[in-house]
Amino acid sequence: MKNIILISFIGSLIGGCMFPSMDLIEAQQENLWKNYSAGETGCLPEDIRVVKKEIYGPTSTWVASCHGVDYVCNSRSGENGTAVSCKKSVK
């Protein structure tokens, strides 16, 4: 019985370490969007706030806000890498 509990405990520790939390995944995705947006908007990543995020398979759409200006951004990943574009938002 002790072996089963020990194996279960070790398995839960390993499983918890092997799979990143959703918060970590979302933070990594947001940092990626900030970096993508920086290249398209001319703002530094640390000056960008990402809002209204949507992911549809290989395509992502988000709004990058920088110094009071909103940009609608889109990325599409494929065999040849990731294409990114941002345009000033029409309000």
Domain regions of the chain by residue span: 21-88
Q: Which residue has the tokens 């070790």?
A: 10
pLDDT band of 18, cuts 50, 70, 90: low
Q: Averaged over 35-51, what is the pLDDT?
A: 94
* Whole-structure pTM value: 0.71
Residue 54 has pLDDT above 50, yes or no: yes
For a pLDDT cut of 90, what percent of the chain falls above it? 49
* Sheet-wide strand order for 69-78: 48-56, 59-66, 69-78, 81-88
Question: Residue 88: its pLDDT value, please?
Answer: 95
